[in-house]
Amino acid sequence: MTPGNGFISIRNVAKSYGAFRAIENISMDIGKGEFFSLLGASGCGKTTLLRMLAGFEDVSGGEIWIDGQEMSAVPPFRRPVNMVFQNYAIFPHMNVADNVGYGLRKLKLPQARRREMVDEMLDLMRLAGYGGRKANELSGGQRQRVALARALILKPKVLLLDEPLGALDRQLREQMQVELRRLQRSIGITFVFVTHDQEEALTLSDRIAVMDGGDVLQVGSPADLYERPASRAVASFIGNMNFLRARVTDRANGCAHLDVEALGRLALPAGATSLATGSPAWVAIRPERFMLSETPPADGSPAVEASLELTTYLGERCRHIVRLAGHEARIAVSEPNARSYRPDPPDRAKPLWLTWSEDAVIVLEGDRT
């Protein structure tokens, strides 16, 4: 087997624990200097794959290449990678400077040079002046930066991060997301980041691999995965989505026609779906791509009558749940709260019109039940 085109090349990699198959024959490439995230729910295999990159788990099949070198015979301590864990694993009996410089001991560098490298890394991490502090004198964000500094001081080619922000509260986590992205761009090494948090993955990543059941469902940029999911599973996991059952009825005059639950007959550009006539489908539309109006659109845009069931105020947005006239189907609609927005929800006794644009519609393969 030969490496692919990536700085990290994963080729037909599988992992089994007895009869249990944790990783299913995964192949993908990760570019040099890329911030690449493995995203999925607990048990999807993302941490197992990360540990195989680190060498903490052996592969049951396939190969892992890093910078042109096959890794199967390379022990963890000789791989050009370092790893940051969720619990940071900072040595409590050492101060910050000793924690950061711990890995330099084996290099047998002069003490002055070690101290210089530690100071440079503390400056990079915005921890200048903290070298003498103990771990219990640091905040959660500062401890996380110490763990990052210790991992990066040996200048690995790849930094592996196993949910390193998971122990932080929401506000601090958002601050550290900005710091982590700034850091990665400033040093330019490859980051492979594991998370179950879709918003975190969208915020940080150049590309994301969505994983489920030990397999990779789709790899793409945040925009690709959000705007062009390849399956219902990906569309469900990335952001919020409305799903309606549909069927492709025919193709004519450059259009694909679909009968859609509650929305009626839609005519979409032929390229909107490759499904054959008669195929079941799902029509997926993001809540923010729907619009509510008290009058039907004057321009003939597609619209259906609806009634409001619930409005939830979310600060910068309101989330409405509407029921479509004559159907059991319920639709989530997300609207921004502009300064002129009325704080009271629309009158529930009045009919509303639900509208959408043609490019808001995503057609996905449907089940056959």
pLDDT at 213: 94
Query: How far separated are the first and last CA of the chain, in Å rounded?
Result: 41
Overall size of the chain counted in residues: 369
Look at residues 242, 251, 265, 262 and name the one whose alpha carbon lies nearest to residue 364.
Answer: 242
Look at residues 37, 142, 158, 53 and name the one whose alpha carbon lies nearest to residue 100.
Answer: 142
207/66 Cα distance (integer angstroms): 18
Token pair for 274: 């490759």
Ranges of CATH 3.40.50.300 domains, the chain: 8-236
Q: Which helix (H) or strand (E) holds 210?
A: strand 207-212
Q: What is the pLDDT along the chain (369 residues), one digit of tens a residue?
A: 656 678 999 999 999 999 999 999 999 999 999 999 999 999 999 999 999 999 999 999 999 999 999 999 999 999 999 999 877 678 888 899 999 998 888 788 888 998 999 999 999 888 899 999 988 888 888 888 898 899 999 899 999 999 988 777 888 888 888 888 988 998 899 999 999 999 999 999 999 999 999 999 999 999 999 999 999 999 999 999 999 999 999 998 889 999 999 999 999 998 899 999 999 999 999 999 999 988 888 887 889 999 888 888 888 888 999 999 888 889 999 998 864 445 555 566 678 899 999 899 999 998 754
* Overall fold of domain 8-236: Rossmann fold (3.40.50)
Look at residues 336, 329, 276 and name the one whose alpha carbon lies nearest to residue 304.
Answer: 329
56/79 Cα distance (integer angstroms): 11
Q: Which amino acid is at 102?
A: Y
Q: Under DSSP, is residue 77 helix (H, G, I), strand (E, B) or coil?
A: helix
Cα dihedral sign, 155-161-165-167 = negative
**DSSP code, position 134:** B
pLDDT at 369: 43
Q: Which amino acid is at 166?
A: G
Ranges of CATH 2.40.50.140 domains, the chain: 242-365
Q: Give Cα separations from 199 to 65, 110, 195, 347 (angstroms).
A: 29, 44, 10, 33
Look at residues 108, 176, 102, 114 and name the one whose alpha carbon lies nearest to residue 139.
Answer: 176
* Overall fold of domain 242-365: OB fold (Dihydrolipoamide Acetyltransferase, E2P) (2.40.50)
